[in-house]
Structures are given as C-alpha cells and as structure tokens.
Structure 1
Amino acid sequence: MAATWTFAVARDDLGRTTLVDGEIPPLHDGEALLRVDRVGLTANNVTYAVLGESFRYWEFFPGGPRGLGPEWGLPPLWGFAEVTASTVAGVEVGQRVYGYLPPAGHLVVRPERVDATGFRDGAAHRAELPSPYNAYRATTGDPAYRADQEDLLILFRPLFFTSFMLADQVADNGFYGADTLVVSSASSKTAYAAAFELHGRGPRLIGLTSPGNVDFTRSLGCYDEVRTYDQAAELDRVPTVYLDLSGAPATRTALRSHLGDHLVRDIAVGLTNKVPNAEAAGEVFFAPNQMGKRRRDWGRDGLDARFADAWHRFAAVAAGWLDVQAGAGPEDLRKAWLEVFEGRTPPRAGQIIHL
C-alpha cells in the first residue's frame, strides 16, 4: 500500500497535536481517491473544532489515524484535491475539485450525483450531516473558479459563503427593522466579507474590533464606522442588530445593558476567540438553513449564479487586503494550525499549505 499521513488534534485541548504516518486503503467499487493538494487555515477551521461535538464537525472525517484513540479528531479544512484513482464513471483521474478535506494526504470518497459541476460524497457516515459540506466542485464546472484565484478561493470561499448567506438573511428579513448593524470581530474575514455585502444597502454599519486592528479595519472601507470594543456602550440608542462573530461575553453584556429594548436581534455567527457563544446569544446563524431557503426560492443554478456574481465582485478587491503566507508539507500545516489557534495570525495574513 502507498503511504500517507494524517494531522490530528486533541478534542479537549486543540493546542495538542500529532502527525501520524499511515497507508492509503484499497478502493472498493463506487469509491474514488483524492490526493489533498492545497488547503488553507483560518479562524473558521478553529471554529469547526471548537464546535466539533455540538455541530458534528468531527463526524466528517471520523476514526482518526490508526493507533490513536477517540480523543483525537481531524479538523476539517477547505481546499483543492486531485482525483488519483476512481471506480466511478464521470469521476476521472486528474480531475481537480474544491471542497471539505481532512488534514491528511488523501481522502477516500463515494461519489454520487456526479455531473459537470462535480459530485457529492455519499459515504454512509456523511448522509445525515449538512449537505453543503459534502459537495466537491469540479474546477471545470464552477462559475466562481479562476485558476489564478485559488488561494483566494481557499481562504475566502467558505467564509464568503457564510458571509453571503448571512448578509442575504439579514436583508431578506428587512434588516429586522434596524437602523444600525453592529458587527464584532470586524477585522475577521467572515465579518468584513459580510460587511462588503451589506454596506450601503440600508442600515448604518458599525464594526467593533480590538485597538490594534482599528486602522486595518477602517482601511477596508466596508464599514460606516469602526470602534473599539470598549466603545460599544457609546452607540446611539436606536434599533440595532448585533452580528456577533467574537463570542466575547463582555461585549454582549455591554450592548444589552446599553441598548436595552433597542437591541432588536442578537445573532451568534461562529466565534473567533474559542468561546462558544450560542447559548448566550438570542439566536444562532447557520448558513445551510438560509442556503436551503434560497435554493427553494431561486433554484440551484440561480443560487450559484448569484453567489458567483457576489464572489467575483468581492475577489476583485479582497486580493488587495490579503498577504498569503505559504507553507509546504504536514509540519507547516501543524505550525499554521497553532498560529491560527493561538491568535497569532494578523488580519492581513492568509495561511496556505501545499501538501
């Protein structure tokens, strides 16, 4: 058998990691083998691990490497992979796909619903998991794909999907009648991509961030105003929606105390500081729910077209907001994970690992 490797983290201590060598299992009928080629690491991947139990993210790539117990997990990554072997018609060797990948050298998938856009992994253990994460888009059938934007797609596309659907949900609900939208962790990619979609469409948009990120966040031009967290209690007392991407309890408490009934919505959108905030928030945003609604409203092709149009508009400017930090191999993947997990990645930086 050919050799491969797997990177794993301890589920109860995400800063504890291991790299394990292994072997690629033989393919059975109905399966294909993907070689993981290029992945990215952002705070979003840490979110998957923090919420691994409650949102079932650990279940996408279960079992872990051979020889390790159930206390170890594989945090999902986004990136590109190439088909190196296949027993499935329409899934050809050499095909390049974008999707949800393990932190490993290879992934065995069971392609279903194969067409020009790609396929879905029909593996039994993924049947009850959120369907958007099971799709593998062929680069040749993806209206959002451009070869010279692969790094941008890796770093921003999964975040931009969340941002696009968040902005769409807020607009779809008439901005909940708010005069102001307040976005925490405003310097994060998910936050400013959502702000890019929402800016100029109605309510005043205010970003909250740490003092060290104020200048960067203002330079984006996505917000009408940028404030530090300790200025949250100085906002105008008007109907306000809070889109919380930080999960910081002190910020939520300050806003609730200051705004009272003027806080018309308090929505948790993931987290960036490793503190789950779903229970404390008024509600939790889950992108696949809004995606399902829009697929019913617009159809799959209509949603794809709207997403691609929004993506191309965003990508045209986002390239100027990003400094790609490239690494190579499993050890660099481990280093990048620890940098992101420990919050040592500047907002302009994007971690790309070639495997």
Structure 2
Amino acid sequence: MGKVTKRVIAITIILLVFGALAYPKVKPLFSSPSGQNGENGMQQQRSADVLRAEAVVMETETIEDRIFSTGTLEANEIVDLTAEISGLVTGVYFEEGREVEQGDLLLKINDSELQAEKSRAQYRLNLAEQREERQTRLLERGGISQDEYDATLNEVNVLRSEIELIGARIDQTELKAPFSGKVGLKYISTGSYISPGTRIATLQEIDPIKIDFSIPERYLARVDVGDKIQFNVQGYDSTFAGEVYAIEPRINTETRTLQVRALSGNSGQLLFPGAFANIELILDEIDDAILIPSIALVPELNAQKVYLSRNGKVEEVRVRTGIRTSNRIQIIEGVSPGDTVLTTGILQARQGMDLELAEVRRGSEQ
C-alpha cells in the first residue's frame, strides 16, 4: 500500500471520529421542535405578534400660546430737574434717593430782589386803591369827571398786573416736583450758582414701571392692547406680570419688528429702570386643549400621525397639530378626550396589531 493511500485512510478516520463527537451537540440545530420545546416556540411566536407599550389617556387642559422676547424696563415718568432762571441756590429741600410728592418744594433760588420789588408795587397799589375809593364817591356826587376816575382805576389795574408778574417771577425761583416719584442723586448744593439747563437731579416715577420690547412683524395681527406678559430680571428668582397698553403703529424697517410697551406694578420697588428683561408675551389662552407628549407624534411626508389603543388593537390616526411646548404638542384634529395614545413602541407599532399596555397614565400626569 502506497504512502498516499495510507495518508487518505488516516484523514478519513480522523474525520469520522470528530463527527461522532460533535453530533450530539449539533443535533438540536437540525431537529424539528417537539414536546416542551415546541410549545415554548409557539409561545415565543405569539409574544412577538403582541406589542407591549405605554400610553397616555387624553384630557383637556388650559394652555397659553406665547412668544418670547427681550426688553428693557423704563420709568413710567422721568424728568431731569432744572431751574427756569439763573441765581444763587439758597436751599435744597430733597434727599437723594427719597420719595417726593407732586408739588413738594425741592429747591429755592435767591429771590430777595424780587420780594423787594413786590413790596414796593404792593405799597403803590394800596395807595392807588385808596385813591380809587375816594374818587368813586366824588364821581357819584359829580365832584370829578369820568376821565379822571378811569385814569385812577387804570393805574390800580396796572399795579395789580405788575404784582402778578413779580409773583410769577418769584415762582420761577422755586423748583417743585412736577409729579410724585423718587429723586435720584443731586448735582448741586446750597450756595451753588445755577442757570437754566444746569442739571440738579433726576425725578422718576417707577410705580408702575414700563417694559419696552419688540416682536417679529408676523405677530402684528395677534398682539393687542390688554395682552398679558410675564417677565423676569437678573437678581430675582420671581416672575413678574404686566399688561400691554401701547403698540407702535409702525414696523421698524431695519429689524422688521413691532415695538410694544407694557406696564407692570412696582409697589415694592424691586424693579429699576434700565434693567434687562426676559419676556413672555401671552397671545392666546386655550381652555380645552389636548396635549400629547412629543415622542408620541410620528412625522410623515406632508402628514403627521399617532397610534391609539382601541379594543386591544393598534389604530393609526392622522392628526393636525397646533401649539408646541418644550415637551408636548397640541392636537387640533384627530384625537379626542378619552383616547389612549401610545408613547412607547412607536417604531414597532402597525395598524391592527394586538396590543398589551404595560402602563397607562392620565394626561395630567405628563
């Protein structure tokens, strides 16, 4: 027997031995299921045909349609206090950073010369009035002519007007608060010589306080006087409320935005003019909205859909959406209160598929 023949016989014997050892291990792979193994296989097949998922039962809620913007706080009223005439300041009657009432005397300029002129004019008026009284009696008896009496009466009227003029000039030496508010820092002192235009201080009314902001022009038809806003400023965790009271009747052609102004109460004086504000403008309030979790919505080409649970089966429904929040979407059409919307198993769901709900929550628990 040749060497080649012996080698072939040896290889054949090795393959037979290896096959005999491996057969028990590979036999199950080629055998058909029967008995217990067959039953398990059928159960697994049935389980694969049933979708296990979680769902939410729809309820109506109240939501707000809002847009976000940024703005600046402004004083309701603000004025730089200045004097009407030149002169020496003889008194400063306000404290920096304090509240003042409308009409309070804030500053006085020297008026001694004007007071002297007023006294002189008053003496002359007294004499003229006495003369006019005597001539009235003489005129009744025919002691003087009408022309003489008219000349004396005219002198009385001129002196009265002169006193009124001096009084008006004296009023100009007094600076009074034009409205109630808070005075800022002062820039003059008693003894300073001031003239018209000299900055004395700033007076601001900050209760209420204005909020100026702008919105894109596409919202022009949706914003109106009376709309509510919410805003916050740096330094406070609180959210403040306000109301739109004026809208600029013109679009800014450079930014394509609409200027809006709101008003907010500031009785605690926590808000200061000039502060930066993050603003939410509430355009509409919907009382009976239906909201689903964002993950439940399935986008399609030119359409959107959700999967519902109906009688233990999966039902595919086309929907129309509305307002979107950070994690929920309003459904305008396609879903009604009481419907059960699937929130998991979306990718495996198919129309008419058997369904087993592992967890069902209420809409308010989203």
| TM-score exceeds 0.5 | no
The structure whose Rg is larger is 2
TM-score (norm 2): 0.19
TM-score (norm 1): 0.19
Whichever structure has more helix as a proportion of its residues is: 1
Larger RCO: 1 or 2 (CA < 8 Å, sep 6+)? 2
Whichever structure has more strand as a proportion of its residues is: 2
